[in-house]
A and B are shown apart, each in its own frame.
Chain A
Amino acid sequence: MRISVCCLYPDIMSTYGDRGNVETVLRRCGWRDIAVDVTELRLGDRLAPDTADLIVIGGGGESQQHLVAPDLCKVKGEGIREAVARGAAALAVGGGYELFGRFCQPQRGAELRGVGLFDAWTIRENALLSGHYDTISEAHADRVIGELVVRWRDTLLVGFENHGGGTYLGAAAQPLGQVVSGHGNNGDGTEGVILGSAVGTYLRGPCLPKNPALADFLISAAVRRRYGAADLPPLADGLEEAARAAAMQRAREAASTARAKPRLSALAEAGLRHRRHARARAAPAALRGSGERPLAGGETLHHGGNARPGGSR
């Protein structure tokens, strides 16, 4: 068997050890005797929709987003949407996830039009305020940084989040999962997005090595797209499971620290979150597309740790 993986901008969008996601796909395929052709697509390269079984884009900072957004829209966008419509799997992480939505409002400059694969948009809180940082600590205070645990199907996904944007899903979009611990899309309890076999997520760390179930979901989809069916033999994931357990323990500790915080500051944070949501929903209706989706109910959420600190600038 043989699948083809398209890596988008590996030279630009590969923050936070994102190459680990591709390495994970390569190894987990290799251990199952599935050959993988990796195609690296750079600025200016088109994506041929019938040759991509799995599309991967990593995270990147704002300067990287500015660099790739026009190319992503004009050169590759159609190919990406077409490939996913024909069953290709995709993994878009962090800054790449943001650009796979309708638009992304960066901290400086006009909003960046996205691929429009996902019915989602991203607002940077600070873009609506002054949009300028003088020191590292100021820039820091405007980001969500910490452990993230997400309920997905019958398992938990673990990882790390570090983002300045809040992502909001339109009515047509389905979240990847529900936040068990951490911040996720925007603090509303959802994390990521899933469309067919295309996944967008803030989970980093990188996300696939410690979440073999998600890695195998993507590999299965890629094999299925190529061969019509997929039956992956299970692998011994002892080391991965140990690292997952440790990540969940860290998330529990972070959440219990957050719960121990004084009530007043928790209230202030809730107020801030409310204000932020109000502003995000006031985003231009034309760009936002199909509008609101109701908050998912019924889940017991333990938000902890990763709410934006301070924020009173």
Chain B
Amino acid sequence: MSAGSRPQLGPGASARRAFAVSAGKAARRGTRRLGKGNGTTVPGIVTLAIDPGALAGLLAEISRGAVLVTGSNGKGTTCRMLAQVMRASGLHPVINAEGSNQRAGLASTMVAKAALTGHLPPDPRAIGLFEVDEGSFPEVLRQVSQPKAVVFTNIFRDQLDRYLEPAYIKALLEQAMQTLPADTALVLNADDPRVALVAADAKNPRLYFGVDDLELSRGRADPTSDFPRCPRCEGELTYSCVYYAHLGHWACRDCGLARPQPQVRLTKADLSGAYSTRLLVATPIGETALEVPLPGLYNAYNALAAVAAATQCELPERSLPAIERTATAFFRMEKVRVAGHDVYLALAKNANGYTEVLRAVLGDHQPKQMLLGLNDYPGKQPDTSWIWDVDFASLTGLIPAPVLSGNRAADLAVRLKYAGWAGPGDDGGLAIEPDPVRAFQTALARTPAGQPMWVVSTSVVLSEMRSWLAQLGYVREPWREQTGAGTWRA
């Protein structure tokens, strides 16, 4: 069934769809009223239990098809940037909220958009834009009849206890790609050898994006990287330039396979700002200067992915500067004003994420007051060993007297000690306070008047802190924000 054509359901199936959607909506109201979270998965589960075809059916009603964004890091931010470009181009992107990136979450999103009739309101300008959890990509892809494009940001080692090794993720993605319709475009990160050759034998149109500013090269291999092998022959890869982790200009020593030449290129970047980044991006149509309101190289990659996807979707070039209006989402350098301080909340959920967030904030080499958090999810994701792959050693001295929080704060303290931040009989000014709220208060008390403070952490610490800030009225609950100001709304 091609995108845009309204699927015809028989009267029985139609009634069932309407009932399934209504039940999902009721579940959404119920979970929110009970204060049981924001109802990101329950409505979808309810709806799909009644009508397993509801998700595919609703997605097929989006008149301009859908763009899927997947990968380890940067999915959400890339989507938010691309959504801005789509809006500036006169389209109405239908977006899933962050964290609703698996099948049930996506179904919840679509239930919320649907009318009680069980159908989406007709909208010729509607276009789907969904971030998809890389582990759930195969099952989500099966629901989307005609994806316009699939964007792959990168594949990092992420949550080993949940996703096992990158090889599994890559194999899973490869398997899913075999069912991809022939005209779906692939928008790929040329700098990531795990991504560049995805579905190598498929004839699908491919558009590559990559960084071509050699001044951003870190010069030496990144200590946090887990280098992949050659995607074709398993040979050893050599890099003429490494931007971060295993992203860079790579070539295989054995078979000669090399990074594809990207069509969308970052030709110049100024990453010295702790709050924003200046980029020059070249596309086949022309060159665009962007001031992205997010710091760090990883956000430059996100902007590049968004420009590439926009180029692939043939959105007008004049819409690209809309990326500059990308709002920070919660936990993505989200700014909160507390007691005379600007507090920035930044989520870091894996080794490369943690490293790059710290490098982004410390890009100006000025010491900053920080709270660093680490938690596990007992029984679900108990492994925090990846903190040993975070490049703390090169940042020694830039984060004086950090406060450590979360149920694994003690592990983080040991990690920092062995990174040289402390020593035997010298605590290096580390304060360990597992309770996120008390840690926040301690860290704020350590911050000089009027100065900013950064919280870099895994999610549980951030969530608990944010709930407390919400109770005090400093921030709104995330789901109210999503349905409120419009940052998240299609």
Contact = CB atoms under 8 A, between A and B. Distances in A.
Contacts of B422: 239
A250 B410 contact: no
Contact of B411 (A12, A19, A243, A254): A243
A17 B385 contact: yes
Nearest to A42: B236
Indicate the member of A136, A209, A246 with the most B CB atoms within 10 Å.
Answer: A136
A interface bracket (residues with beta carbon within 8 Å of B): 35 or more
B414 interface: yes
Nearest to B234: A67
Nearest to A243: B410
A136 B389 contact: no
Interface stretch (B160-168, B324-332, B360-368): B160-168
A236 B425 contact: yes
A65 to B, nearest CB: 11
B386 A17 contact: yes
B488 interface: no
A218 B237 CA distance: 33
A185 interface: no
A139 B407 CA distance: 28
A285 interface: no
B418 A209 contact: yes
Interface stretch (B55-63, B201-209, B311-319, B376-384): B376-384
Interface in B343-373: 351
Contacts of A243: 410-411, 413-414
A121 to B, nearest CB: 22
B414 A204 contact: no
Contacts of A145: 161, 382-383
Interface residues of B, number: 46
B232 to A, nearest CB: 14
B87 interface: no
Interface string A8-26: 0001101111111001100
B475 interface: no
A16 B160 contact: yes
Given A19-B388, A136-B135, A140-B164, A235 B424 contact: yes
26 contacts: A12-B229, A14-B226, A15-B226, A16-B385, A17-B385, A17-B387, A19-B389, A23-B418, A27-B420, A31-B424, A61-B167, A136-B135, A136-B163, A145-B161, A145-B382, A162-B161, A206-B385, A209-B415, A210-B414, A235-B424, A239-B410, A239-B427, A239-B430, A242-B410, A250-B378, A254-B378
Interface of A: 11-12, 14-20, 23-24, 27, 31, 42-43, 61-63, 67, 133, 135-136, 139-140, 143, 145-147, 160, 162, 204-206, 209-210, 235-240, 242-243, 245-246, 250, 253-254, 257
